[in-house]
């Protein structure tokens, strides 16, 4: 009996060693696909991989969600791709992200939206922080799938038509509910928001990002947040009336408001619909780039390098 148990443990240990070896190879291969200085950092081989999860609208197709989590482009900044496509194809079997050919969501005119939870260490900081990577609509380039799909509603400028406005309101209503329901699922008390989709992504909206915030983002945010009174909402690097501004990442981690509450604090990263979390990292001046260059969201946040995100049990459908 003892021998059987010992053999079983030995086999499990051997499988784990093999799995870790494959994972390290995948990490090395993915990093080699980035153009110089765009790659994510890799500074800690810990057990945080297994804690990562994907949250999505339960009416959407899980197979599509899993493929969107896996087939991601190393870097895509406003449709400029700073990575070696042939290498990506050689190591992982594709050149361009699945977002470009995925069918639309059952609740929107763009591919299914989802968010990836990546607890991570931060460079030069001992504690673990909790990051939720959320994706807004991409209206920063006429070649974007989101821009094209929304422009099909009419030939007027994006955002000057009531159809555009109503569809955007539905999208962000669903996104905010997904973020806050996920925060509750993770048993978080503090949510440090960012302006997901309301800055660079809104550059082609009629009137630009400021008009987008005025017409879409803040009205929907203020309406949705009424349903989540038990969450303490703050912002990261944005001065918003009635909400505390913690400052920019990563310095905001040391803000007295949350410094001793990091285990119950969720940071919302403004992610990209195409890229690996962190996108262009050191050469990306968006929030995504700043979080990416200081953490390991790029390693944890895709199933290319996180084997636990290949497992359906780590995908959680939200009503």
Report pLDDT digits (tens) over 166-213: 999 999 999 999 999 999 999 999 999 999 999 999 999 999 999 999
Sheet containing 53-57: which strands, arranged edge to edge?
232-235, 190-193, 265-271, 125-135, 114-122, 53-57, 315-318
State the pTM of this model.
Answer: 0.94
233 SS3 class: strand
Distance (Å, whole) CA 152 – CA 137: 15
Is the pLDDT score of 83 beyond 80? yes
pLDDT of 300 reads 97
Strand-strand pairing, 265-271 and 232-235: unpaired
271-282: average pLDDT: 98
**Where does the pLDDT of residue 15 fall: very low under 50, low under 70, confident under 90, or very high at 90 and above?**
very low
Q: How many domains in the chain?
A: 1
Is the pLDDT score of 34 beyond 50? yes
Residues 284-294 have pLDDT tens digits of 999 999 999 99
Whether 112 contacts 274, CB under 8 Å:
no
Is the pLDDT score of 14 beyond 60? no
92-108: average pLDDT: 97
Q: Where are the alpha helices (DSSP H) in the chain?
A: 2-33, 62-70, 85-92, 145-151, 162-185, 208-212, 218-224, 287-294, 297-300
11-26: average pLDDT: 64
Is the pLDDT score of 1 beyond 80? no
Q: Which residues have CB under 8 Å from 44's CB, separation 6+?
A: 121, 296
Domain span holding position 228:
2-318
Is the pLDDT score of 146 beyond 80? yes
């Amino acid at each position: 009996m003892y021998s059987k148990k010992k053999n079983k443990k030995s086999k499990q240990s051997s499988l784990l060693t093999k799995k870790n070896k494959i994972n390290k190879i995948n990490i090395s291969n993915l990093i080699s696909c980035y153009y110089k200085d765009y790659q994510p950092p890799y500074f800690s081989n810990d057990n945080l991989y297994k804690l990562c999860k994907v949250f999505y609208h339960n009416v959407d197709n899980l197979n599509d969600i899993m493929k969107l989590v896996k087939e991601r482009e190393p870097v895509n900044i406003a449709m400029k791709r700073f990575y070696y496509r042939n290498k990506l194809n050689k190591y992982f079997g594709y050149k361009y992200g699945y977002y470009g050919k995925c069918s639309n969501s059952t609740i929107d005119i763009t591919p299914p939206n989802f968010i990836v939870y990546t607890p991570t260490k931060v460079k030069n900081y001992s504690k673990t922080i909790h990051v939720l990577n959320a994706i807004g609509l991409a209206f920063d380039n006429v070649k974007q799938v989101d821009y094209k799909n929304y422009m099909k509603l009419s030939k007027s400028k994006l955002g000057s038509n009531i159809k555009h406005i109503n569809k955007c309101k539905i999208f962000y209503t669903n996104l905010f509910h997904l973020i806050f329901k996920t925060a509750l699922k993770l048993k978080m008390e503090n949510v440090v928001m960012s302006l997901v989709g309301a800055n660079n992504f809104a550059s082609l909206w009629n009137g630009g990002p400021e008009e987008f915030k005025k017409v879409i983002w803040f009205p929907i945010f203020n309406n949705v947040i009424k349903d989540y009174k038990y969450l303490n909402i703050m912002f990261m690097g944005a001065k918003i009336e009635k909400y505390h501004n913690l400052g920019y990442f990563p310095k905001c981690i040391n803000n007295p408001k949350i410094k001793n509450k990091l285990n119950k604090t969720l940071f919302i990263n403004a992610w990209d619909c195409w890229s690996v979390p962190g996108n262009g990292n050191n050469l990306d001046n968006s929030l995504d780039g700043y979080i990416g260059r200081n953490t390991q969201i790029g390693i944890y946040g895709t199933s290319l390098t996180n084997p636990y995100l290949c497992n359906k049990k780590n995908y959680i459908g939200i009503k």
